[in-house]
Amino acid sequence: MSTISDYVVQGGQSLTAGEVDAFRNHLAAYKLKAETLGMSGQGALGDQAAFLLRFIEDTLDGVYDPADFAALPEAIFGVKYLAKGVDIIPDSMPGGYSDDAAVIAAVLGGHAGEFEAFAKKNQISVPHA
């Protein structure tokens, strides 16, 4: 039986270098999505996405060097999932962000030590649901 964590691991492993470059090129759009989540009553999810985006950007820019190499592709996969227009549960339905929240929670939980180290280095907190 596959879990959300397995789905996230497989998603992170399936990312290509081209997809990572494309993600970087659309970083502003992903940041806007995180901001709009906060305005739509999904504040915790928006905060988690913003944290992951900061981790991704700092890692891609060479500002932060993660010890856990799987954290970056899985964080990218999680944010891409969150920003997708169509996913398991349509976001427009009641509870529609529950699948997105589960994916983001799996990313954060799967690499808790790495994200705590990143947060400590930047004197911020890892946002929790």
Please name the residues in contact with 33: beta carbons below 8 A apart, sequence gap of 6 or more: 49, 82, 83
Cα separation of 48 and 103, whole Å?
11
> Burial of 78 by CB count in 10 Å (0-12 exposed, 13-18 middle, 19+ buried)?
buried
Cα separation of 11 and 23, whole Å?
14
* pLDDT tens, residue order, the chain (129 aa): 469 999 999 999 999 999 999 999 999 999 998 888 877 778 899 999 999 999 999 999 999 999 999 999 999 999 999 988 667 766 666 666 788 999 999 999 999 999 999 999 999 999 986
CA atoms within 13 A on the CB side of 9: 9
